Structure 1
Amino acid sequence: MSNTDTIVEVRDLNVTFQMNRGQSRVVRDADLDVARNETLGIIGESGSGKSMLASSFLNAVVEPGVSTGEVTYHPEDGEPVSVLELSESELNRFRWEEVAMVFQGAMSSFNPVTTIRTHFRETLQDHNRDIPAGMDRARELLESVYLDPDRILDSYAHELSGGMKQRALIALSLVLEPDLLVLDEPTAALDLLMQRSIVTLLRELQAEYDLTLVFITHDLPLLTKLADRIAVMYAFNIVEIGTTDDLLYNASHPYTRALLDTTPDLNVPVDEMNIIEGSKPDPVDHIPGCSYHPRCPMADAQCRSDDPPMMTVSDSHESACFYYDEADDAVPISAAPDTPPTTSQSAATDGGEN
């Protein structure tokens, strides 16, 4: 992928936290390109590193977390930006103006004693933008997300439903006209109908405002309705990446195939549903070899000793598995991947959030 087609390049990214029992590495040696104007989905179990990877796009990992490696942002016009080397003042401009992020928890993202109008005005003021022109854009954005500006701008967060808060937060994230919008579990607290509504809304916003989207979730069926490509994370790194069709119909990593096989079906009794056996990896005690080998039915001596690099499955598809071409037979998927999901699927085996 050439730089003219790429908006963000991630190379050898690591995110670490110092803990009492040692250094916790919550992103390990991650490499990733995000193409301009695409929707890239990032999926994995709770605690797999999805949020930490995405936060690094803005150098927004909270202290005492430390991001190392390279995160390069390519504006449409101008020189590439090394995000992890930006000063605090440069970061303040970069965030919201170039890359914006909708963090987890719209319910708690707004100041409860401040109107929505004030949130927009303060964002514009902090970036030295023309307030009247910016508020005109705010009204336009609120209308784009199917909200009444006259009602919403003078409301407090507690006066809005969950879906309304989420849509208002998306509008706020776009008020400075960023090129890249990162959404971290934006539908996690919403009912199924509102989740689908948000997905439809994001498609419309992407087309209207020429956006690149990075969508983080543990809801695989939801992601397949939005993403052009999907990156699968396991043990704090990307283990498979490809187009949505690549992942749905030709998944080549045993973990991805196991995720597909755990999609809930309301027609199947709970005790007959598939799960991924075993425990997720420890961020401190990193095991040798492939991180998935303790849970993998394909694992052999090589898997236990060597960490597999990304292997080329096709021009659009890579998998970090020595035996990617055997995964189809070794890890069968019981449900046809094109079967419409009957409920929201969680990739987390412990039911938590990342």
Structure 2
Amino acid sequence: MSDSFTAEAVADTTDVDTDPTAEDVILECRDLSVSFEMDRGTSRVLHDVDMDIRRGEILGIVGESGSGKSMFASALLNAVVSPGRTEGSVTYHPPDDEADPVEVLGLDKGPLRSLRWEDISMVFQGAMSSFNPTMGFREHFVETLDAHDYDVAAGIERAEELLSDLYLDPDRVLDSYPHELSGGMKQRVLIALALVLEPEVLVMDEPTAALDLLMQRSIISLLSDLRDKYDLTMVFITHDLPLVTKLADRIGVLYAFEFAEVGDTTEMVHDPKHPYTRALLNATPNLDAPLSEMRPIEGAAPDPVNVPAGCPYHERCPLATAECEDVKPAMDAVSATHEVACHHWSDVDDEIPLSTGVQR
């Protein structure tokens, strides 16, 4: 977790540009699972995930390392590398009401390649290694445009506009090589490259992980502006819950390869109902809470080959009962915009108080 999560950062969720009418689903995931066969058994790294991603929203996906975040991102584009096995369904709903929905996991190689850049694009971890060091940035853009039969001149004009939107000098950047730009600049070029074919959805896997705090906050602000200008839907994958509260309309918390809690950002920060979400908040440095109130999360996340029966969090949860050990909780509606998978969510206010000082 970042040490930037002050009380101000928690409380300041009102600057997130939410649209409560954005209920049109653009990506629909059902029973989405990813697994790998290993010598010691089947490694389950995403399990029966259901998620509706709404057109025009920014959805933040948060969890510890190894919780399934990157697998969820890759599964959305059917990009899990072999020998991984992706099962379930990911349905893309094009903007044209007359166009048929697209089952992403059922696409052949050619249509899938087109969908990955032209409809749903992704910014993978590590801008440092995403570019060919022997090619200038202009060549990277031209190569992408050529590969998808886009008009190169028009595409370069769009690239120049995107780079300007990201506060980069287009002429300097396009005539540069990767080693000539800083990490933060390369990350912004990568975002521009991901958007040059005008996709509807941008999936970002830890796009700010290697950047300093100031650059992280700068990119978060730029992403919000890009969403508004280009009518984008964004999925922002991160381990940094404080950071994503500045950007996302909704937040989904992954634990042990499935969602523990999903809700409107304000509700998730001010009144989370899953013990794990509360533990994440209480383990984060906060200027308003005494150091003595900070609580590390005891124990470790489950082994993907040996996830416990019942609630996957029960071995670390202070509220766990025999029911939690034996019965897996279903998602339960806390409100119209908030759901949680916990048998005892109605007890968390009394049993696990928040130390952030902003509890509703």
Give distance in 2, aligned partners of 1:278 and 1:8. Answer: 34
Q: How has the CA–CA distance of structure 1 residues 269 and 113 changed in structure 2, closer, same or farther, with 3 Å as cutoff? A: farther
Give distance in 2, aligned partners of 1:4 and 1:246. Answer: 18
Do structure 1's residue 32 and structure 2's residue 51 form an aligned pair? yes
Q: Is the 8 A contact 2:253 2:261 kept in 1?
A: yes
- State the Cα distance separating 1:273 from its structure 2 match: 3.8
Q: How has the CA–CA distance of structure 1 residues 2 and 19 changed in structure 2, closer, same or farther, with 3 Å as cutoff? A: farther
- Give, as a single letter, the amino acid of the residue that structure 2 aligns with 1:147: L
Give distance in 2, aligned partners of 1:268 and 1:106. Answer: 36
Alignment partner of 1:104 out of 111, 117, 125: 125
Give distance in 1, aligned partners of 2:21 and 2:56. Answer: 14
Percent identity of the aligned residues? Answer: 60
Pairs within 5 Å for 1:129-278: 129-265=150-286, 273-278=294-299
- State the Cα distance separating 1:337 from its structure 2 match: 4.0
Pairs within 5 Å for 1:57-96: 57-77=76-96, 78-96=99-117
Counterpart of 2:10 in structure 1 is none
- State the Cα distance separating 1:112 from its structure 2 match: 0.9
Do structure 1's residue 16 and structure 2's residue 35 form an aligned pair? yes
SS in 1 for 2:207: coil
- State the Cα distance separating 1:287 from its structure 2 match: 1.1
- State the Cα distance separating 1:100 from its structure 2 match: 0.3
Gaps of 5+ in 2: 1-19
Q: Is the 8 A contact 2:289 2:355 kept in 1?
A: no
Counterpart of 1:52 in structure 2 is 71
Give distance in 2, aligned partners of 1:106 and 1:3. Answer: 31
Give distance in 2, aligned partners of 1:337 and 1:18. Answer: 44
Give distance in 2, aligned partners of 1:312 and 1:272. Answer: 29
Give distance in 2, aligned partners of 1:194 and 1:83. Answer: 34
Q: Is the 8 A contact 1:260 1:337 kept in 2?
A: no
Do structure 1's residue 121 and structure 2's residue 142 form an aligned pair? yes
Give distance in 1, aligned partners of 2:245 and 2:36. Answer: 32
Give distance in 1, aligned partners of 2:187 and 2:358. Answer: 30
TM-score normalised by length of structure 2: 0.91
Give distance in 2, aligned partners of 1:250 and 1:271. Answer: 21
- Give, as a single letter, the amino acid of the residue that structure 2 aligns with 1:39: I
- Give, as a single letter, the amino acid of the residue that structure 2 aligns with 1:243: D
Aligned length: 339
Provide the alpha-carbon RMSD of the alignment: 1.9
Do structure 1's residue 304 and structure 2's residue 325 form an aligned pair? yes
Q: Is the 8 A contact 1:12 1:70 kept in 2?
A: yes
SS in 2 for 1:181: strand
